[in-house]
Amino acid sequence: MKKIVYILIFALSATLFTPLKAQTLTLSDKEQAEFKERINTMLETFLNDLSSIGSKDNSIEFKKAVIKSTLRNFINNGDPYRDSSGYLKKEPHMQTSVLRNGKEYKNKLPIKTYLNNLMYIRYEKVTITMSETLYLSNLYKVGDHYEANATYFQYFRGEHGDGRLYQDKTKKTIRIIVQIEEVYGKKVFVVRFGDIDVVQTVA
C-alpha cells in the first residue's frame, strides 16, 4: 500500500514539475527567411524614421507626419491596450541608454513620449542605423497571437552644431507581435512592435 502511495505521489509530482511546453509555430525555411527579411525591413525603416525625427533638417510638420506613420507599426498605435484576456496593458516603451564617463545610464519612456522628445533633441543631426538582425527567435503562441524577439545592433551618431560628436553602439531587443492570417491559402503575417529594450551599450 505504501509503495502505491509513493508511486502516486511521485507520478503527481512529475506532472506538476514537468515544464509546460510553449506552443511554437513551425515555419518552413522559406517562410522563416521571408519573416526575417520583413522584420529587417521594418527595423531599418523604423531607425531611419528616428533619424528623420531627430534631424534639424526636417520641419516639425514632417516630423509629426513621420511619428504618426511610425506609431502604426506599434501595438495599438503606441497606446495602452487590452490583451486577449481583457487585461489593460501598458503602452510599448522605448528604453534608451547613454554613456557618460564610461558608465551606462538607462531610461524607459512610453514610445509616444520618446518620439515626441526626439523631435526636439539637442543635436543638429542624428543618424541611427542598424546591423542586420542578429537573432530572431521562434514565434511562440501567446493568447490569440504569436510573439517573437529580435536582437540587433543600433549605431547612434549625434552631431552638435559646433562639431562635437556623440556616438555609441547599443545591443537592443524588440518584442514582435504577430497575427497570422490565411490569405489565398498562404500565411500572412500582420506584424507590430512592442517594447524595445537595451541589452548593452558600448562606445
Partner 1 sequence: MKAIKLLLTIIVIAGLSIKSHSQTFHAIVFADTDDPKIGASVKRDMEKIQNEIGMIVSSTRMWLNGYYHSGREANKEQLLTVLQNLRCEPEDVVFFYYSGHGGRAVDDRSKYPQIRFKASDSEAYPMSKVDEVIAAKRPKFRIVMGDLCNSISDYLSVKSETGSGKSVVENDVYENLFKNVKGSVLVASSKSNETSIAFPDGGAFTTCFLNELGRIVSGNQQADWKVLLEKTQKATVKAANHTPVFEVNVNSGSSQSASSSTPVTGQQTNNSFLNALINMADNGGDRNQRVRSVQPVLHEYFDSPHSIVEIFGRDGKTRLVRENAQEFLERVSTSYKLINFVELDVKKTNGGKITYVKLHEIYRK
- Pattern 44-63, partner 1, x by CB under 8 A: xx--xx--x-----xx-xx-
Are the C-beta atoms of 190 and 72 separated by less than 8 Å?
no
Please, which residue, 108 or 125, has the CB nearer to partner 1? 125
- For position 28 contacting partner 1 by CB under 8 A, the verdict is no
Is residue 58 exposed (0-12), middle (13-18) or buried (19+ Cβ within 10 Å)? Answer: middle
CB of 34 to partner 1, least distance (A): 6
Which CB atom, from 17 or from 184, has the smaller least distance to partner 1? Answer: 184
Our finding on whether 111 is near partner 1 (CB under 8 A) is no
Hey, how many other C-beta atoms are within 10 angstroms of the C-beta on 91? 18
Contact letters for partner 1, residues 68-97 (x by CB under 8 A): xx--x-------------------------
Cβ distance 111 to 73 under 8 Å? no
> Is there binding between residue 100 and partner 1 (CB under 8 A)?
no
84's grid cell = 486577449
- Indicate which single residue of 25, 32, 38, 157 sits in contact with partner 1 (rule: CB under 8 A): 38
Closest by alpha carbon to 170, among 97, 100, 105, 117? 97
Q: List all residues 6 or more positions away from 190 whose beta carbon is below 8 Å from its beta carbon.
A: 178, 179, 180, 181
Between β-strands 88-89 and 93-100, what pairing exists: parallel, antiparallel or unpaired?
unpaired
Which one of 15-23, 65-73, 91-99, 101-109 is the stretch in contact with partner 1 (CB under 8 A)? 65-73
Q: Give the count of residues interacting with partner 1 (CB under 8 A).
A: 22
Which one of the spans 42-50, 87-95, 101-109, 125-133 is the region binding partner 1 (CB under 8 A)? 42-50
